Amino acid sequence: MPSFDEILAGKGVFLDKSVLSPHYVPEILLYREDEIRKIMLAIAPVLQGMKAKNLFIYGLTGTGKTCSVKQVLSKLKEKADPRVFTVYMNCRVYDTRYKVLQKVITEFKPHFAKTGHSFSILYEEMLDWIENSKSDLKGRHLVVILDEIDMVSDLDSLVYTLVRANDDLTGGSVSLIGISNKVNFKQKLDPRSKSALCEEEIVFQPYNAVQLKGILGQRAQSAFEKGIIEENAINLASAIAAGENGDARYAFLLLLRAGELVESRPDGSRRISDKDVEEARKLADEDKAFEVISTLPQHQQLLLYSLAGLSEDVQYKRLVEDGGDKLYFSGEVYERYASLAKRLGHVPRTSRWYREYLNELEMLGLVNMVSSGKGVRGHTTLIKLSYTAAKVKKAVEKTLMFE
């Protein structure tokens, strides 16, 4: 049996794993010079004692939006202007107007009570802090960055509040930078909010294969020990990610998983090849699928859990096998789902909603459906999971916290 000393004494493949994290911000962000310049132009007025422009940034996942904004914030911080303040927050956590204002205030007044105040008190507290009447600075200039802004439930109210704050201030200003992965997101905004939020817009286009190769080459130099990764591995990861809407995060994940696979091998091999990237792709696809599962509505998760339970039931005989795959009757899966929902204190959805759920799960690649053919009495739908039952159950349990 190996010891920790033996494992730690062995030479790993990684120099710095964090370089492949989606949260890592490199000193030089390749192929985003124009976008970074536009963000800086929008924010620059605060360094002259004026209000920054409201800015809306959108583009698909992994196109460098957040990284570009954080790089600009770092440059802004280097200026050390006592009038300028920024607050960055992810709206998956701060998903209401109240939470956003609360975060803004406690960021600069940590001793201010975090709960219990009405919205109007929070708003007045923010205005008082920005006006900064006891100082010679003639007001502070605040830039609020809302990442995944589309997750805010009362977004129109939030945008109106932050923009309107400038009318209520006697000094200083509030500006807003919104970031979204949904390119059609702004169409859902109230016309007034759209007008206020979209003062300036930047669209981040997906990276192409050549750009991804350059980005991965840059990261690989810092992430891996010298001579560990082969060029064909970088080429394949770039090509795969280019086919996934130019998602650089997905490319980083492929290299990370490939490195972990090589590092875990007992044979001591320390070279990452295209075959390792291909194997990593399967693991990464599972990771993405389980991330999708965690965001599904409750009843869709219950449906997946029921199908996974059927797949693990060794006593269940009423199934169809096709090339080694086990397919389950739609009606049987619905009965399992309805029983589970009732057991957990929920009212099962109707069969019509059940069919809608199945169609959506198939579109997401989580299940496959086929019509019954010869050898099956009547015409029905057969269903199978796209991923291992145990892993699907684990993903649902992690979200819904089954006992």
pLDDT value of position 192: 77
pLDDT at residue 206 tops 70: yes
φ, ψ for residue 190, nearest 5 deg: -60, 140
Length of the chain (residues):
403
Tens-place pLDDT, residues 16-44: 999 999 889 999 999 999 999 999 999 99
For residues 158-187, give the mean pLDDT. 89
Residue 214: band (very low, low, confident or very high) from pLDDT cuts 50, 70, 90: very high
pLDDT value of position 223: 95
Residue 286: band (very low, low, confident or very high) from pLDDT cuts 50, 70, 90: confident
Which pair of structure tokens corresponds to residue 342? 């009732």
Of 239-248, 294-303, 308-317, 331-340, minimum mean pLDDT range: 308-317
pLDDT at residue 107 tops 50: yes
pLDDT mean across residues, the chain: 87
Tens-place pLDDT, residues 45-92: 999 999 999 999 999 989 999 999 999 999 999 999 999 999 999 998
Report the predicted TM-score, pTM, of the whole model to 2 decimal places. 0.76
pLDDT at residue 233 tops 70: yes
List helix spans (H) across 295-321.
298-312
Question: Measuring CA to CA, how many Å separate 248 from each of 62, 121, 222?
Answer: 5, 42, 16
Residue 10: band (very low, low, confident or very high) from pLDDT cuts 50, 70, 90: low
Tens-place pLDDT, residues 345-390: 999 999 999 999 999 999 888 899 887 654 445 557 889 888 888 8
Would you say 367 and 291 are in contact if contact means Cβ atoms under 8 Å apart? no
How many angstroms separate the CA atoms of 71 and 58, rounded? 17
How many angstroms separate the CA atoms of 390 and 142, rounded? 48
Neighbours of 269 (CB within 10 A): 12
Most confidently modeled of 92-101, 325-334, 390-399? 92-101
In the chain, the percentage of residues whose pLDDT exceeds 70 is 89
Q: Burial letters for 304-329: b for 16+ Cβ neighbours within 10 Å, e otherwise? A: bbbbbbbbeeeeeeebbeeeeebbbb
Q: Does the CA dihedral 191-196-199-200 come out positive or negative? A: negative
**Which residues are paired to 146 by β-bridges?**
89, 178
Would you say 84 and 76 are in contact if contact means Cβ atoms under 8 Å apart? yes
pLDDT value of position 135: 61
The residues, any chain, with a CB within 8 Å of residue 236's CB and separated by 6 or more, are 274, 277, 278
pLDDT value of position 195: 75
Which pair of structure tokens corresponds to residue 27? 């000193």
Residue 403: band (very low, low, confident or very high) from pLDDT cuts 50, 70, 90: very low
Domains identified in the chain and CATH numbers = 33-204 (3.40.50.300), 207-294 (1.10.8.60), 298-400 (1.10.10.10)
Residue 151: band (very low, low, confident or very high) from pLDDT cuts 50, 70, 90: confident
pLDDT value of position 208: 96
More confident residue, 22 or 142: 142
pLDDT at residue 178 tops 90: yes
Please name the residue that has the structure tokens 């600075």. 137
Torsion of CA 371, 373, 378, 380, to 10 degrees: -10
How far, rounded to the nearest angstrom, does the alpha carbon of residue 363 sit from its chain's CA centroid? 19
pLDDT at residue 145 tops 50: yes
